Every structure is written in C-alpha cells, then in structure tokens.
C-alpha cells in the first residue's frame, strides 16, 4: 500500500454544514479525539493512533470533524502548529504506522497546518474563523469562504536504456537519492509539468509521460502525482540551485538500495514516500518499460 493512503474513515461531508449534528456527535460518549503531541501522532505500542474521550462541552471551533467510524465521530484538535519544524522530525513515527493510520493522521495534520496559515482573509485581510466543522474558514468582514488547499506536485522517474534518473536535495539524509519532483504550475497539465521539471532540473528531454499512482503528502498539503517518462538522452545538465546531485541508476543498483546493501549506490527513499513505491513499480516491471529497453 502506498504511504498515507487507505484511510477507511467515512468523511461524512454532508454533516460538515450541520453544526447541530456535529454538536450532537461531539456530545456522545462514543466520540473520539485524536491524541497529538504538538501535531505529531501519539502512538500505542503497535504503532496505532491513540484516541481519547472528548472533554465535556467542547468548543466546536477548536475541533476538526474527521468523520465517522462505526457511527461514532472522530475529531482532531485544532491546535497551533510550529510551521518551522521540519517534516523529517516526525518520519521516525510514520515508519511505525500502517499507511491507513498515517493517512488519518496526515488528514488532520494537513488541515491543522492549513488553519495555521489562514488566520487572515486573502481577499480583504480581516480575521477568519473556522466553519464547516473545520473544513473551511470564513472571513469575519467580507464573508469570503476559504477552503483547505491541496497543491499538486509531480514526482517522477525518467528511464533511459534500463536506468532511472535519481536526484539528491541538500536536506536529504546522507546518501539518500530519490525521484525528482516539482509543483505543477498554473496553465500546465501533469505531463507538461513532468517534462518541464526534467528539463529545468536535469537538462533532459522526455517523452511518453505516464501516470503511475498518487499520494497525499501532509507536509503541509501536497498531492504527489507519480509518473514515469522516457528520456531521449542520458546527458545531464544539473540545476544546482534545485539539486545537489543527480545520477542514472541501473536496475541492479536500485535492487541493492532496496536490500539495504552497504555497497548500494544510494540510500532508498523511506517506504511511506511514493518515490519508494514508484521505484518498486519500475523494478518489478509493473509499469510498462520503454519498447526495446534492456532490463539490466
């Protein structure tokens, strides 16, 4: 399963605009509140999220209604967020979690992070207040409604004669290489964004861009769109303002990285990152390869 996917919670979005129904659900003894340390998940010994009872008469404006589980409501606290804390600080915990648990926590984290950055109206500058059970904010002055945003990011492999292109950003752990990535810009299709990012960051021309899979990424709220493409040539022109390094890696090199070999040419991305799933799909041939490309 791809990281941060597979959440089985019923989002019950029809209830979000019904404050009386939300209040009734919150008052039920079956209602549950997600336990967080700051915005990090609190986990039991098996890596599962911890839920607690809601306080008596909770302030609904301080809660996010995540959805229903077996008829009982699940809420997350609308807490302040330390926007300066790096995403990787929580990766150790995410590695302990099943993807569907991480998906639920990630939903809460994305929403909390969005609220933290949208206290003021982008239209007129006045203060905003949460509404829609935590799935929006409304301006106190001009009444503009603001909704949680998801930013599309393409993350992609280029293939050339049985090797894939991987890059390294300066903030990665030592030895880590991963798929190249970049935000989709206004006016672009996914395929065009992939081609532009490869041209900008690595100086290569690609064709036959194919979608493979997607993943929500809660740092703070991206939709990672994984693709694979064919490179016309393997000569690189690296943009060192974006990447520290980039290199072509053979099938054997990727296999060694997944085995954790000390001699592997790079340290594989963590299992919860879609780059990991994308590389595995390429390795297993579950993604169609370029016609005639050697497999080694």
Residue 125 CB, nearest approach to Zn ion (Å): 7
Residue 136 CB, nearest approach to Zn ion (Å): 13
Residue 274 CB, nearest approach to Zn ion (Å): 36
Say which residue the tokens 């016309």 belong to: 232
Q: Which of residues 209-238 bind Zn ion (CB under 5 A)?
A: none
**Which among 134, 166, 129 has a CA at the least distance from the CA of 144?**
129
| Contacting range for Zn ion; rule: CB under 5 A; set: 101-109, 113-121, 227-235, 268-276 | 113-121
Can residue 144 be called a binding residue for Zn ion (CB under 5 A)? yes
- What is the pattern of x (binds Zn ion, CB under 5 A) and - over residues 120-139? -x-xx-x------------x
Between 37 and 124, whose beta carbon lies closer to Zn ion? Answer: 124
Report the Cα 265 to chain-centroid distance in Å: 26
Between 27 and 122, whose beta carbon lies closer to Zn ion? Answer: 122
Alpha carbons 230 and 227: distance in angstroms, whole number: 10
Can residue 27 be called a binding residue for Zn ion (CB under 5 A)? no
Residue 122 CB, nearest approach to Zn ion (Å): 8
Between 19 and 125, whose beta carbon lies closer to Zn ion? Answer: 125
CA distances from 287 to 177, 191, 233, 235 (A): 20, 16, 20, 24
Contacts of 25 (CB under 8 A, 6+ apart): 15, 31, 65, 68, 72, 73
Angle between helix 251-259 and helix 274-284 axes, rounded to 10 deg: 130
Out of 142, 235, 252, 293, the residue judged to bind Zn ion by CB under 5 A: 142
Residue 127 CB, nearest approach to Zn ion (Å): 9
**Which among 52, 100, 48, 45 has a CA at the least distance from the CA of 75?**
52
**Which among 92, 265, 229, 207 has a CA at the least distance from the CA of 157?**
229
Say which residue the tokens 């603001």 belong to: 146
| Contacting range for Zn ion; rule: CB under 5 A; set: 33-41, 142-150, 224-232, 282-290 | 142-150
Between 51 and 120, whose beta carbon lies closer to Zn ion? Answer: 120
Alpha carbons 292 and 271: distance in angstroms, whole number: 30
Strand residues in 9-148 grouped as ranges (E): 32-34, 36-37, 40-41, 51-53, 63-69, 72-77, 128-131, 136-139, 145-146
Residue 114 CB, nearest approach to Zn ion (Å): 17
Number of residues that bind Zn ion (CB under 5 A): 8
Between 13 and 129, whose beta carbon lies closer to Zn ion? Answer: 129
Q: Which residues bind Zn ion (CB under 5 A)?
A: 121, 123-124, 126, 139, 141-142, 144
């Amino acid at each position: 399963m791809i990281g941060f996917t597979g959440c089985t919670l019923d989002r019950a979005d029809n209830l979000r605009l019904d404050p009386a129904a939300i209040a009734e659900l919150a008052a039920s003894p079956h209602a549950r509140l997600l336990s967080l340390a700051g915005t990090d998940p609190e986990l039991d010994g098996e890596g599962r999220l911890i839920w607690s009872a809601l306080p008596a008469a909770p302030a609904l404006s301080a809660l996010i209604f995540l959805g229903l589980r077996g008829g009982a409501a699940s809420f997350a606290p609308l807490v302040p967020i330390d926007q300066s804390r790096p995403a990787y600080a929580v990766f150790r915990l995410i590695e302990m979690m099943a993807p569907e648990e991480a998906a639920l926590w990630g939903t809460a984290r994305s929403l909390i992070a969005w609220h933290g950055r949208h206290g003021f109206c982008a239209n007129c500058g006045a203060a905003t207040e949460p509404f829609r059970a935590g799935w929006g904010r409304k301006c106190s002055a001009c009444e503009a409604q603001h909704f949680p945003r998801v930013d599309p990011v393409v993350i992609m492999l280029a293939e050339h004669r049985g090797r894939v292109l991987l890059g390294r950003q300066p903030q990665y752990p030592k030895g880590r290489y991963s798929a190249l990535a970049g935000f989709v810009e206004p006016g672009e299709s996914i395929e065009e964004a992939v081609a532009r990012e490869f041209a900008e960051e690595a100086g290569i021309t690609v064709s036959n861009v194919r979608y493979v899979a997607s993943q929500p990424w809660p740092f703070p709220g991206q939709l990672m769109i994984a693709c694979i493409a064919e490179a016309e040539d393997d000569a690189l022109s690296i943009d060192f303002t974006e990447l520290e390094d980039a290199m072509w890696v053979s099938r054997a090199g990727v296999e060694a990285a997944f085995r954790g070999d000390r001699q592997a040419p790079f340290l594989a991305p963590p299992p919860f990152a879609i780059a990991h799933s994308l590389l595995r799909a390429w390795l297993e041939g579950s993604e169609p390869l370029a016609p005639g490309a050697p497999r080694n």
